[in-house]
Structure 1
Amino acid sequence: MDTELTRRSLLKAHAAAIAAATAGISLPAHAQSVPGGVEALEIKWSKAP
């Protein structure tokens, strides 16, 4: 995702976050890429004993 962050969009997002926090609503965060790719996380998926 290659979006340009403008001052206007930053202020709008900040205002939305403040309004949501005041109302007790949580907003979803944007997904961010992982440096080195997903393989760099070394996540082990296994069942619990």
Structure 2
Amino acid sequence: MQPDIESVFMSPSDEYSFLSSSIVKDIARHGGDLSKFVHPSVPSELIKKFN
């Protein structure tokens, strides 16, 4: 690693520890409600991508 690069690991709360990007994309592909899992600006863009 480069000594001048700082790495940061942010772990989610237990409530979201099961969630992965694959799960979010799968929910979007099937027209599910993403509002509980992502920022408000994300669902419409994902739905556009998969429809």
Q: Give the TM-score taking structure 2 as reference length.
A: 0.27
Relative contact order, higher structure (CA 8 A, sep 6+): 2
